[in-house]
Copies of this chain bind each other. A is one copy, B any other.
Amino acid sequence: MTVTVAIDCMGGDHGPAVTVPAALDFVRKHEDVRAVLVGLEEKIRPFLVNAGDSRVSVRHASEVVAMDESPALAIRSKKDSSMRVAIDLVKNGEADACVSAGNTGALMAISRFVLKMLPGIDRPAICAVLPTVKGHVHVLDLGANVDCNPEHLLQFGIMGASLVAAIEHKDRPTVGLLNIGEEDIKGNDVVKRAAELLKDSGLNFIGNIEGDGLYKGEAEVIVCDGFVGNVALKASEGLAQMLATFLRQEFSRNLLTKLAALVAIPVLRHFKRRVDHRRYNGASLLGLKGIVVKSHGSADIFSFGNALERAADTVRSGVLTRISERVAEQQTIQRRA
């Protein structure tokens, strides 16, 4: 099976300077993948010099969705944007997945408009992988939905569990609910009701998880409202940056600390690689009738490459079928209840 990935080459802070080299690396690494580079041809071509690969093609798109553009405007007025054309390629079967580092809101809106939702799913959710003490965890939603009801949180649980089941070949991944305490009585009404739905869902629901549990590996899937998930994720990014700044400052304080740094550098490098957020780049937009992966806007070549890998893995694992089946089972459970 060949996997074809449509790449919105214009998205992100660096555009083709990052997306095109990452695509070339990606194709070189895997014999079974093809990349369709979507965007302004005259901006993409310069990065393709001496890179004649029959598995890389360019699809010209005359417009670009700006990072701060309103999603509604992007849908209405930019029908030939690189983002839209890349998603259209998934819709009409020319590509198996689309990857973009562009405007998240526009990517969500256009994906939903073009691809439509899977039956039984109301809203798409952004699902990313975070490192934990024990390995990693899939968390959703991370910002697509800022006003969730309990049914949405249940759907996130089903989608997240289906994704992990498909990609990691786990039969019944554990699912936790992000809350402000572990006891059932904690949280707001939406979360309390969501816990009841998750308990009765047939999922391997293990209960409430507090914020610090995100990094403890307490569950394989953690579900939350997009507002909470987004703030928690970004707060973590901010804290990590602050700690890195402080560590650098401490090691460059004087000659002695600088010498200590020289000795410690190999260890610190190893540490840095281990917690490198670029390794976790690439969030899945789940719930759509097609595979769309969002890269961080600031991604570099290594980081964007990981988003491409995630897209290919998702295609190979057959996640869409898995989610659909799981939703159908769920509807049977509900009808019985």
Partner-B contacts on A (CB < 8 A): 68, 70, 131-133, 143, 146-147, 178, 180, 183, 185, 187-189, 191, 210-216, 224, 226-228, 230-243, 245-247, 250-251, 253, 256-257, 259-261, 263-264, 266-268, 270-271, 274-275
Contacts and interface: CB of A to CB of B under 8 A. Distances in A.
A285 B187 CA distance: 19
Contact of A228 (B185, B227, B237): B227
12 contacts: A68-B183, A143-B180, A146-B180, A211-B231, A212-B234, A212-B237, A215-B241, A246-B271, A250-B271, A256-B266, A257-B267, A264-B264
A267 B239 contact: no
Contacts of A271: 246-247, 250
Nearest to A188: B146
The interface residues of chain A, by DSSP majority, are classed as: helix
Contacts of A235: 211-212, 214-215, 232, 235-236
A191 B147 CA distance: 11
A150 to B, nearest CB: 14
Contacts of A275: 243, 246
A215 B230 contact: no
